[in-house]
Structure formats: structure tokens, C-alpha cells
Amino acid sequence: MSTIVCFGEVLWDVFPNHKKIGGAPLNVASRLQSFANNVAMISAIGNDDLGKQILEYLKTRKIDIKNVQVLDDFNTGKVTVTLNNKGAASYCIEHPKAWDKIKFTEQASAVVKSADAFVFGSLICRDAVSKTTLYSYLEIANYKIFDVNLRAPFFDKETLIELMHTANFIKFNDEELYEIAKYLGSKFNNLEQNLWFVSEKTSTKHICVTKGEHGAVLLYNSTLFYNSGYQIKVADTVGAGDSFLATLINYLLEKQNPQRSLDIACAVGALVAQKEGANPIITEKEILDFSGL
């Protein structure tokens, strides 16, 4: 069991016919807590019904909400999600929302300082208020896990490079890896070469790259580990990468074998993708039966 802080957006994913609670850091927190970790969320919601529902959801998932700020001046976040015929998602993210305005507090700072790991993403940096708060917490966090989450137009090259240099662990999807490696000056076309290139350029020893239905590759202490994916019928991909990352973090922080950690993480990501919504309940038996581990 680890103590982990997730920092960033909490919001509603609004689909054509329904809406579900989401936001990458919240999704990661929810899955981490399902493995019986002590998980705290640092974010902000509006003083509105949508925000109250998010707080109730976090409570039911036993996630610490003491540092989820309630703001009168900004509404709870919403994202319009569009799915193509393969279940892949695209997003329209409203700005500004409450999660753009997370303020620094000494109480939250103490939680970050005492945690085993601190999870954050790139989207939270789209607004100067939350970005400044993030940078303050990064100065004191112990093990910094950067979930790259490129959502145009809400990112810039300089911020991405700064965040990679401060992180201890970076998670990309394959498209993000190629794009960011190019920012850093890579001339390579091969995924593994670009992974090594980013590792050397940023002095990061732990990097994972997801490849959709084709699994993932993990660089962990100078060794590459692979999983080739699981065949499923996709319902939607929303939150699959978040659950993948949370599962991988859980097992690596427990000092489990990196290959087994990657295999289970890929299985959980696949199970989420074949269900609707970002945070379906998945049992340990379901994971083990599905993965064959």
C-alpha cells in the first residue's frame, strides 16, 4: 500500500447520450484507490450541483477530498466527448473552469511532501493559476509521475520539456512520444530509439509508452519490457490509459517485477476500454482471469 497524491482536473465527460465523472488525474486516483492505496486528490470544483456530485463520487471511492477546493467564481469543468466508429475519443474542453484555478495551500503542500508519489498531467498547465501551484508542489514531491496528455491547443513545447526534466516517471502514448521527441531534436523514426532518446535528453530512467491495441513498452532502470496487447471489442477508450497508468504505478511502487506490472496494467487498460466510461469497477479476479497471469 502506497500514499499517492493526484493533482489536476476533475470534471464531467459529456457524451452524446449521457455524462460521466472524469478527468485524467481523477481517473488515475480512482483506479489507484481500487488497489487499496491511500489516495488524495488536489483539485477544484465549482460551488454547483456538478461539483457536489464529484465530491460524493470521490467520497464513495474513499479518496481524500480535504484538498479539493470549492470555488464560487468558476463552474465545475465539463468536456464534450465525441467517439468515432472505433470507439476512439476526441475532446472539446471548456475554459476557464474551476480546475484551472487551483490555489496553493500549506495543507496540500504537507500532503504532497509526505506522499510516496505525486501524479500530474500536462493539461493542468493551460492556466497560469493551476500551473503555478503545480510547480510549487513539484519542488517538494518525492517521486514525480508525469502523465503526458496532449490536448490541442492547451500545451506548449517549453512547458512540456520543463515537466519532463523534473519528472521521475513519464507516460506517453506513441503519438505523443514521436511529437515530443521531435521537439527535443530527435531524427529517429523508430519508437524504441525515440524512447531512449527522450530518456537520455531528460535524464528520466522510467518511461512508459502505450500503443493502443498493440500494448505498451516500459523502460525501467535501463531495461525495456514489452506487452503486445489484448484483443477486445472496444466500447470506448475514455479513461483506459488512466487506468493503465494507475495499475502500473501501483505494482511498480510495490516493487513488483516490471514485466508482470506491465502485463497487468495492459490487461486493466483493455478491460476498461471494453466497458463504457472511464472508471468501471473491475475485480482482481476479473483482471487475473482476463490476463491469464
pLDDT tens per residue, range 129-180? 999 999 999 999 999 999 998 887 888 999 999 999 999 999 999 999 999 9
- Mean pLDDT is lowest, of 56-60, 89-93, 143-147, 247-251, for 89-93
3-state secondary structure of 270: helix
Instruction: Give the integer Cα–Cα distance in Å for 63 and 40.
Output: 6
- Split at pLDDT 50, 70, 90, the class of 236 is low
Average pLDDT over residues 56-83: 95
- Split at pLDDT 50, 70, 90, the class of 87 is low
271 within 8 A of 287, measured Cβ to Cβ: yes
Structural domains of the chain, with CATH: 3-291 (3.40.1190.20)
Instruction: Determine the residue type at 100.
Output: D
pLDDT digits (tens, 9 = 90+) for 18-46: 888 999 999 999 999 999 999 999 999 99
Closest by Cα among 28, 6, 262, 235 to 116: 6
Closest by Cα among 105, 99, 86 to 45: 99
- Split at pLDDT 50, 70, 90, the class of 81 is confident
Instruction: Give the integer Cα–Cα distance in Å for 181 and 188.
Output: 9
- Mean pLDDT is lowest, of 29-38, 53-62, 130-139, 225-234, for 225-234
- Compute CA 67 distance to the chain's CA centroid, rounded to the nearest angstrom: 18
Instruction: Please provide the average confidence, as pLDDT, over all residues in the chain.
Output: 94
Percent of the chain whose pLDDT exceeds 70: 98
> Hunting for cell 474542453 — which residue is that?
93
- Split at pLDDT 50, 70, 90, the class of 284 is confident
- The pLDDT score that the predictor gives to residue 231 is 87
CA 252-117-47 angle, to 5 degrees, is 130
Instruction: Determine the residue type at 191.
Output: L
pLDDT at 89 over 90: no
Look at 82 and 265; give whichever has higher pLDDT.
265
Q: At what angle do helices 191-202 and 157-166 cross, to 10 degrees?
A: 70
Instruction: Give the integer Cα–Cα distance in Å for 195 and 191.
Output: 6
Instruction: Give the integer Cα–Cα distance in Å for 209 and 220.
Output: 12
- Split at pLDDT 50, 70, 90, the class of 237 is low
